[in-house]
Structure 1
Amino acid sequence: MNERIDAFLAYLQGERSLSPNTISAYRNDLLQFADYLRAEAERQGGTDFALSVIDRDQITAYFLHLRDRGYSGASIARKTAALRSFFQYLRRMGEVASDPTQGIGSPEVKKPLPRTVEDDHVRALMTFLESRDTLEGLRDHAMLRLLSATGMRVGELVMVDLDDVDFGNRRVRVVGRGNRERQLPLDEATLSSIRTYLERARPFLTRNVPAETAVVVNQRGQRLTRQGFWLIMKGLVHEAGLPAIMTPHMLRHSFATHQIGEGLGLEELRQLLGHASIATTQIYTQLAGQSPEENGRLLLSSS
């Protein structure tokens, strides 16, 4: 089965242009299912199950197994979606006669509201960052200002190159999920922070790798990774004496909620956030305390 999983993941990456994080989630979910089937086959005296004999009962038994192990409804729903996509792919390729996931519903998941950061905490973090007049301090201030001022994802921020920052038009080019490109406006304070970092800190950080094109780099002058960003932010939040639970995505949620509170239309906010569907964006109206009637006006203001 693992070979077919690899082929499916290659299809997702090549044909559907899904993000590396999404591909990784699919891989983990599908390999977990393959391991479960292998263990069940060994328990019955075999070595594995052929794809052609996997049926709905085995799929259902797997989900019951996950539930008994304490997996949340959200996790099981995600794994259900991964298996459904996998078997639909196999059926299109003619490798299975029918889709064993057909008719199996996902568990009902009540989506929690996104968590935001209090404005006072954001200001306190920025004040702390401004006090660190070091190479890393200038970088950290620039990248966190860029994140909180635009609402971009961490995965998008670390992929921003030098040519993507347009100081003249006060914009930054971002390539998001599905290779969708968008131009995000930058305020003067954020531009100033980026400019200071590029002039005073980045040249020294990249002294051994002058060909590096990334805006945000690590201590070795190489493009900062998502994991690296998370570790840096976690340390900064701790040093600043702020609540431990303050993540990059919470800054994105805070940006979106603030924009709604300022009266920005949902379609404009959808474009800024890079959402494929406006339904994803609508959840921020709840965070901003908008009534259904106000929500409707926001939609109308976007049309």
Structure 2
Amino acid sequence: MTWELAIQQFEIHLQLERSLAENSILAYGSDLRKLCQFIELRQLGLSPLTLQTTHLRDFLMYLYELGIGATSQARILSAIRGFYQFLLLEGYLETDPTKLVERPVLGRKLPHTLSVHEIEILFGTIDHSTAMGMRNRAMLETLYSSGLRVSELISLRMSDIYFEEMFLQVLGKGNKQRLVPIGKIALKYLRIYIEEVRIHFPIKKEAANCVFLNKRGSKMSRVMVFLIIKELASKAGLQQEISPHTFRHSFATHLVEGGADLRAVQAMLGHESITTTEIYTHLDRSYLQQTIHEFHPRS
């Protein structure tokens, strides 16, 4: 069995059996092909069925020497483990070469967030006199109000907005649907955009149900959302690197700082594990320290 054939079969498995999104499948394939490149570079002549644990350890050391961080190493190793679980499941192998490979030690990277004041400054740079400006305001208000991923934002459909109930129906990772609340301000700008701006776009047939459209009437792209935010951040004079995910992090952070239940934030973000959401609890430390200083008798 060749590497390419095995990877293609694995990708079909991810699509049909696990219903993963196209981007996730591409990421798995890309990570596995890095291992293939290593084997070719070292002229090891290994197939997926002859790879051993020692080869995988050498591969991780190779990634480390290239300057690949622990988080990326762990992601690549996770893809390889999933690949070998598939080969075991299909009966190609009886032993798993990844079983004894140690996971790279990860540091807990804290997400970058914007303060409420910084978000107001950024929103204040939007030109509301233009159609694109009103679209951008509605788009960013939705990002911040509901903590959507950029892929969820551009895939939002007209039929996914429940104005009266103040909820969005979101299609997240692994094609999992969830209901997410949306605030009054975001709904106000969404309604203005849809009722007064979007109707004047030359809407393409295939994008008829898409909420956010480009000026040609087609579905927005991820890259376009990144570029819009980058340009606005530059106008606002914000020095830090800002992306659509910054609004998602800020959404979660401001909820936790305000005392929101972590399980509720987990559900709104669409995190499978509560440990993923717990990273936002660090941002409340200053408030906790202030509370100790003000109210503890020994302070």
TM-score, L = length of structure 2: 0.89
Alignment map for 1:1-303 (pairs within 5 Å): 1-41=3-43, 48-129=45-126, 131-209=127-205, 212-289=208-285
Looking at structure 1, the residues matched to 35 and 136 of structure 2 have their Cα atoms a distance apart, in angstroms, of 40
Structure 1 residues 140-167: Cα deviation after superposition (integer angstroms, max 9, x where no partner): 0000000001111111111110011111
Aligned residue for 1:120, secondary structure, equals: helix
Looking at structure 2, the residues matched to 194 and 217 of structure 1 have their Cα atoms a distance apart, in angstroms, of 13
Q: Which AA in structure 2 matches 1:137?
A: G
Aligned residues: 287
Alignment RMSD:
2.0
Partners of 2:204 and 2:218 within 8 A in 1: no
Looking at structure 2, the residues matched to 26 and 142 of structure 1 have their Cα atoms a distance apart, in angstroms, of 33
Looking at structure 2, the residues matched to 206 and 39 of structure 1 have their Cα atoms a distance apart, in angstroms, of 51
Aligned-pair distance for 1:210?
A: 7.9
Looking at structure 2, the residues matched to 114 and 175 of structure 1 have their Cα atoms a distance apart, in angstroms, of 23
Aligned residue for 2:219, secondary structure, equals: coil
Work out the percentage of aligned pairs sharing the same amino acid.
33
Query: Any runs of at least 4 consecutive aligned residues in structure 1 with deviations exceeding 6 A, and if so which?
Result: none
Partners of 1:206 and 1:212 within 8 A in 2: no
Q: Which AA in structure 2 matches 1:245?
A: E
Partners of 1:214 and 1:223 within 8 A in 2: yes
- Which residue does 1:301 correspond to in 2? none
Q: Compare 282-291 and 26-35 and name the one that shifted more.
A: 282-291
Q: Which AA in structure 1 matches 2:270?
A: G
Partners of 1:135 and 1:205 within 8 A in 2: no
Aligned residue for 1:183, secondary structure, equals: strand
Looking at structure 2, the residues matched to 30 and 198 of structure 1 have their Cα atoms a distance apart, in angstroms, of 43
Change (3 A) 1:17 1:184: same
Change (3 A) 1:31 1:191: same
- Which residue does 2:296 correspond to in 1? none
Change (3 A) 1:207 1:257: closer
Change (3 A) 1:27 1:173: same
- Which residue does 1:299 correspond to in 2? none
Change (3 A) 1:244 1:262: closer
Q: Which AA in structure 1 matches 2:27?
A: A
Q: Which AA in structure 2 matches 1:281?
A: T
Unaligned runs of 5+ in 2: 292-299
